[in-house]
Amino acid sequence: MVLVMTDAGKMVSVVVPTRDRPELLREALESIRALERDGVSFEIIVGDNGTSKETRQIVEAFKAVYLHTSKQGSAAARNIAMRAATADYLAFLDDDDLWTSNHIHEHLKLLVANPDIDMVVGQIINTDAQRCSIYGPWPKRVPEGRQLIRLMLSGYFPQIGATVVRTRVREAIGFFNEELIGGQDWDWQLRVARTHRVGFVEHPCVLFRQRAAGTYDELQLKRITFARRIFFSHALPEWRLWESPLAFARSYFGVMEQFLTYFTGTALYHVNKGERLAALVAIWRGFAVFPSRALRMLLSQSSLRSAFVAAIKGVKVDRVSTRSSE
């Protein structure tokens, strides 16, 4: 958690969850401290559910407060920090991501100028492990009101690090669901958006460190189940947002497409390592997630088709794009 004092006398509590990634945490905390300018100051509180002794040392080196929980998962680490928040505003930063110099200030201006707005989301830039840009900044814009909910239920997942809310939202909707292996932040933001007004800041606020395809296949398989659960738990009560069952289905497939994109990238990853069987397994998993879209990609010029052909022939692929727009 970080307390931010602005020249308007405002404070922001920023929740920082971590687990056994001390060097990445150090970079994250540095990115927070870098925003101490123009009268802005911080008090940092980190929620940890790891075992690394170095984590506490780093937290203390940044003059921050350390809280530990034995419960596993990022939701539990966020919750223990969020429960300790006392400021009027809440923001977030995961331990492997970085804030940019564009963060916080514009969010606060929008919140101060609009007392009826309770959550503000910003843009992010996806990077690789070396912080090199992959994609972004995105999104270019977001709609307001009920159409934002529909967008969030169609494949737009606001990155939690670029989100700022009024702390009173915590009292209204509660904490992150610790039963969810994946999508806890998406679920929490949907709960906010369905009952509160949301604003948007057109500035890249976070460098989101994207894990490489092929490095967490089993976790992605588990996340599919939770993504479906979250989608239907929020979409069914909001069914009037869609003009037809077909439109509803398209939104669902928009959510599922992220997993097809992941397994397409995984197939390419395995092909280029000479792991033909593993590549075909990844393609099969993509089909299981989104059969019609996967079939369409196989019948057109796409990364999935390239991976399939390369796996059959036993060759490598130069083209590695896995953009879902293919």
Query: Using one digit for the tens of pLDDT, what is the confidence trace for 87-111?
Result: 889 999 999 999 999 999 899 999 9
Instruction: Give residue 305's pLDDT band: very low, low, confident or very high (50, 70, 90).
Output: very high
Q: Is residue 326 part of a domain?
A: no
Which of 209, 244, 269 terminates a domain? The answer is 209
Q: Which of 183, 209, 235 is the last residue of a domain?
A: 209
Between 184 and 326, the more confident residue is 184
Give 45's pLDDT tier (boundaries 50, 70, 90): confident
Let me know whether 123 and 185 are in one domain: yes
**Cα separation, 94 vs 15, whole angstroms:** 8
The pLDDT assigned to 324 comes to: 37
Same domain, 201 and 291: no
- Are 161 and 247 members of one domain? no
Interatomic CA distance for residues 103 and 253, integer angstroms: 32
Query: What is the H or E stretch that residue 135 is in?
Result: strand 133-138
Query: Does residue 307 lie in a domain region?
Result: yes
User: How high is the pLDDT of residue 326?
Assistant: 31
pLDDT at 323: 43
Between 40 and 282, the more confident residue is: 282
Asked if residue 228 and residue 271 are part of one domain, the reply reads yes
Same-domain status, 202 and 221: no
pLDDT reported for residue 1: 59
pLDDT at residue 9, as a whole number: 54
Q: Which region among 211-220, 233-242, 249-258 has the lowest average model confidence (pLDDT)?
A: 211-220
Let me know if residue 5 belongs to a domain. no
Query: The CATH number of the domain where 76 resides is what?
Result: 3.90.550.10
Mean pLDDT, the chain, as a whole number? 91
Task: Give the pLDDT confidence of 172-205 residue by residue, as tens digits.
Answer: 999 999 999 889 999 999 999 999 999 999 999 9
The tally of domains found in the chain comes to: 2
For residue 280, the model assigns a pLDDT of: 94
Classify residue 205 as exposed, middle or buried by CB count within 10 Å of its CB (0-12, 13-18, 19+): buried
DSSP H or E segment with residue 185 = helix 184-193
Task: Report, as an integer, the average pLDDT of 251-264.
Answer: 93
Cis peptide before 137 (omega within 30 of 0): yes
Counts for the chain of helices (H) and strands (E), in that order: 12, 9
Nearest CA-CA partner of 103 in 46, 6, 32: 32
Residues 33 and 173 in one domain: yes
pLDDT tens by residue, 122-181: 999 999 999 999 999 999 999 999 999 999 999 999 999 999 999 999 999 999 999 998
pLDDT at 181: 87
pLDDT at 321: 46
Task: Give Cβ neighbours of residue 180 (< 8 Å, ≥ 6 apart).
Answer: 75, 187, 226, 229, 230
Q: Measured between alpha carbons, how far is 1 from 17 in angstroms, rounded to an integer? A: 9
**11: which 2 tokens?**
């404070």
pLDDT of residue 199: 97
45-49, 53-57, 272-276, 313-317: least confidently modelled range: 313-317
Instruction: With respect to residue 72, please indicate whether it lies within any of the assigned structural domains.
Output: yes
Does 206 or 89 have the greater pLDDT score? 206
Residue 40 or 301, more confident: 301
Q: Let me know whether 152 and 223 are in one domain.
A: no
Domain carrying residue 307: 217-313
Say whether pLDDT at 75 is over 60: yes
pLDDT band for 7, please (50, 70, 90 cuts).
very low
- Based on the domain organization, do 17 and 122 belong to the same domain? yes
